Amino acid sequence: MIQIKKLVLIILVFSVSAMNLLASGQNRAGTAAAPELRIPVGARYLAMGGAQISSVNGLESIYWNPSGLPYTDSYANAIFSYRSYIADMNVDYVALSGRMVGLGTIGLSFRSLNIGSIDVTTLDQPDGTGAIMKPTFFVIGLTYAKRLTDRISVGATFNIISENFDRASATGSSFDIGVQYRELFDVTGLSFGVVVKNLGGSMTYGGNALVKTADDPDGQRGPTFYNFDPSSADLPSEFSLGLSYTHHLSEKNDLTVAFAFQNNNFSYDNYKIGGEYSYDNIFFLRAGYIFSPQATADAPNIFENYTLGAGLNLKNLTDMNLSIDFSYVPVKYFSNNNVFSIRYGF
């Protein structure tokens, strides 16, 4: 037990140290590599504003806090989620997990940002060349999580990042690491969680799109090929800690309230609050609110402050271990986001 507490303490110290590195985030907005890493996936916890990192469970925890992956009733699980994002883009998320008795839980995830087709234009042909390019952005993750005790769990995810934009591409890798402590201070329903996400090296684009021909005014060889040397960009690391409390209102009615603070190194810091009402573990209503005190009228967040959602768990109604979730995310300058998720346990 002492060694487990030491491990948790090391993770907490590491997390606080990472928080000190993530400062003045908004001053660096728009300069991060792989911004798709920060697009939330899954409808359930997005509907709660992402506040429930301390007791998130199942396959959606791969994004929010990987230490919640082992908390499922099934030995194997699957999820598919679709999000209509801004500017006619969408985000797909697919994940699978399996529990290995005595060893922990393994998860494999795939998420992609689908931009669609873009007409190729040049300086000579600003209306288009007739060619079309289809950028691809995706992240593949491998997660390992384990319950160290009946209260403490830890988890980590290794991500491979791939971006391809016509004839230019970039690859990178990142780590997420988190911990959850449930029944905090021996209080039933009280949980604490901390997570550090998107830790890794910088990313740099390469490819023959960066090779151009030009004339050297001091040379005598005529047109010469030149390779542009692009600058690198850091990953959008972030640190979050949170508390949640679940109160049993009656035999069939539960209410969960969650709070979280998120420190970002490429955007505003966020304070989050979320709630979930559950009836007989069948029907769920959810809402969240995100407050960014550094945001101003001249430099606001493009997303509104609130989120809404609902869920239906068919396990108690049928023989299928199937859940359907929906969340609504309003946006200021683009179309509002709708997120759908289907979760299945084997």
Q: What is the pLDDT along the chain (346 residues), one digit of tens a residue?
A: 555 555 455 455 544 544 444 445 566 666 788 999 999 999 999 999 999 999 999 999 999 999 999 999 899 999 999 999 998 899 999 999 999 988 999 999 999 999 988 888 888 888 888 888 899 999 999 999 999 999 999 999 999 999 998 889 999 999 999 999 999 999 999 999 999 999 999 999 998 888 888 777 776 776 777 778 888 999 999 999 999 999 999 999 999 999 999 999 888 899 999 999 999 999 999 999 999 888 877 777 888 899 999 999 998 788 889 999 999 999 988 899 999 999 999 8
According to the model, what pLDDT value does residue 225 have?
Answer: 78
pLDDT of residue 19: 47
Our count of domains for the chain comes to 1
Whether the CB-CB separation of 65 and 193 falls below 8 Å is answered with yes
pLDDT of residue 6: 52
Q: Report the CATH number that the domain containing residue 240 is assigned in CATH.
A: 2.40.160.40
- In whole angstroms, how far apart are CA 111 and each of 38, 83, 94, 206? 11, 11, 6, 23
Cβ contacts of residue 98 below 8 Å, gap of 6+? 75, 76, 105, 106
Extended beta strands in 183-304, E state? 190-199, 211-215, 223-227, 238-248, 253-264, 270-279, 283-291
Q: What is the pTM of this model?
A: 0.88
List the Cα angle 280/343/282 in 5-degree steps. Answer: 10
| Distance between CA atoms of residues 226 and 68, nearest Å | 50
The secondary structure of residue 342, as a DSSP letter, is E
Residues 6+ apart with CB under 8 A from 229: none
Maximum Cα interatomic distance, the chain, rounded to a whole number of Å: 87
Looking at residue 22, its pLDDT comes to: 47
Find out whether 90 and 334 touch, Cβ atoms under 8 Å.
no
pLDDT score at 219: 67
Q: Provide the H-helix boundaries in the chain.
A: 2-21, 43-46, 61-64
pLDDT value at residue 315: 85
CB atoms near residue 298 (< 10 Å): 5
Query: Do the beta carbons of residue 128 and residue 121 sit within 8 Å?
Result: yes
**CA gap 99, 101 in Å, rounded:** 6
Give the residue numbers spanning the domain of 66.
2-345
